[in-house]
Chain A
Amino acid sequence: MLNNIAKYTGLFILLLVIQVSLLNNIQFSGFVNPYIYILFILLLPFETPSWLILILSFLAGLVVDITAGTPGLHTSATVFAGFLRPYVLNYISPHEGYEQGDLPGIKTYGFRWFITYVIIIVSLHHLFLFYLEVFRFEYFFRTLLRVLLSTGFTVLFIVIVQAVFIRR
């Protein structure tokens, strides 16, 4: 348990460093803003209770908001993603269901399962985040394009991070 707490805190700090030092500096007319910290919520163990996911989502979003100077924006989007995670997992669960003690990852249920899972959660998170940021429908299609491009890059970075840093 303690081991897990240390591991996930480390993971979150790693993601935050990548986010702040690298991803926040992508200059592409604002069309590409990947937010990789959401991987922290994606990788929590299967048996994590829903209330704990919600609390952790809230805290993670809050920390990201502090580094980005956008009070409430990332917090609300991450809580939204954390709320949907159990439903998404349920929806895409393999026939046998999930093994107790397993972690969501490429190794556990294969690349296809993992990429489906990541794309669904990341696109929901980004949709919520970008539309909340703009908060008007005037630029509907441009915002949609920003969501799609950023989702693409976030998923790409998540696969890279998953492949490079996370063994097991």
Chain B
Amino acid sequence: MRSLLNFLNRFGNILLFILLELIALYMLAARPNYHNIKLTKAMNASRAAINAKINQATDYFSLNEINQQLLRENGELKNTLQRFYRDSEIKTYSVTDSLHRQQYVYIQASVVNNSVNKQKNYITLDRGTLSGVKEDMAVASQSGIAGIIIEAGRNYSIAMSVLNLEFRLSVRLKKNGYFGSLTWDGADDNILIINEIPNHVNISIGDTIETTGFSAVFPEGIMVGTIVDFDEGGGDFYDIEIKPSTEYRKLNDVYIIVNLKKDDQIELESDVTGTR
């Protein structure tokens, strides 16, 4: 007993330090799949509620700009409405079942919390499972891509911002369709990186980059940004820097994009390749 007390006296603090550190690191490691952790649930709910209040107040200051954006977007939408309907064969049906023809549904959402100054930025949105939001849905602003939902609560959801070191997305050059992989290197919120575009492809500054739709998360053809700089790199691929078309610092109103045929695509692909 005496030796136990002695031991605790000498090493108790180190043991306590290790214990607390393990708890903290466990919380950190559990972040991506923390559905079961009540603490984080409660944390996110209270944080989102507080931020929603602050946001209500600040929304008023940008009303004018948002109106302009909406007008512009309305015009664009009228022009491009047909793009998201894939109806080549289905035209023969006389039944107008929108569920089988329409591939994408847009859920309007407001940003209640957003950061650009961390290495792993997240966006909190005011729509959750009650509005039909699920994980892995795409988030886009009026002007381009914004993120991917990683966690959906009842009334709020959290999206991984494009400005996150973990973010990956398949994108392509609009003019010739060569595709590569989009990432962010954590340095500047106005620069995104594309690699895996082979350097025999002819590219130039100002070229438009859009989504490919390969991952069944984003529809194809959503604007990503324009090339501002590139060099041939060391290997067979370009190092391309692009300026995102979305202004992440001003992100306010976004769309959550639901792909109605996503499960279909993934099921079929896993049938063929045998993996997921």
Contact = CB atoms under 8 A, between A and B. Distances in A.
A115 to B, nearest CB: 26
B47 A69 contact: yes
A35 interface: no
A51 B12 contact: yes
Contacts of B20: 54-55, 57-58, 75, 79
B57 interface: no
A94 interface: no
A133 B118 contact: yes
B73 interface: no
Interface in B3-53: 12-13, 16-17, 20-21, 23-31, 34, 37, 39-40, 43-44, 46-47
A71 B188 contact: no
A133 B28 CA distance: 9
B119 A69 contact: no
Contacts of B116: 27, 30
A28 B13 contact: no
B241 to A, nearest CB: 15
A148 interface: no
Nearest to B124: A69
Contacts of A133: 118-120
Interface string A130-160: 0011101001001000000000000000000
A44 to B, nearest CB: 15
A159 B70 CA distance: 47
Contact of B185 (A70, A73, A139): A139
Given A29-B187, A54-B20, A71 B118 contact: no
Interface in B102-147: 113, 116-120, 122, 124
A71 B16 contact: no
Interface in A72-88: 72-73, 75-76, 79-80, 83
A108 B26 CA distance: 39
Interface string A3-34: 00000000000000000000000111110010
A61 interface: yes
A71 B28 contact: yes
A92 interface: no
B8 to A, nearest CB: 10
A67 interface: yes
Given A50-B13, A51-B16, A67-B47, A29 B189 contact: yes
Contacts of A29: 117, 187-189
Given A69-B44, A72-B27, A26 B117 contact: yes
Nearest to B29: A72
Interface string A99-138: 0000000000000000000000000000000001110100
B21 A71 contact: no
Nearest to A84: B17
B190 to A, nearest CB: 9
Nearest to B34: A71
B208 to A, nearest CB: 25
Contact of A83 (B17, B28, B118): B17
B165 interface: yes
A105 B52 CA distance: 39
A66 B47 contact: yes
B175 interface: no
Interface of A: 26-30, 33, 50-51, 54-55, 57-58, 61, 65-67, 69-73, 75-76, 79-80, 83, 132-134, 136, 139, 142
Interface of B: 12-13, 16-17, 20-21, 23-31, 34, 37, 39-40, 43-44, 46-47, 113, 116-120, 122, 124, 165, 185-189, 249
6 contacts: A27-B117, A30-B187, A54-B20, A65-B43, A73-B28, A83-B17
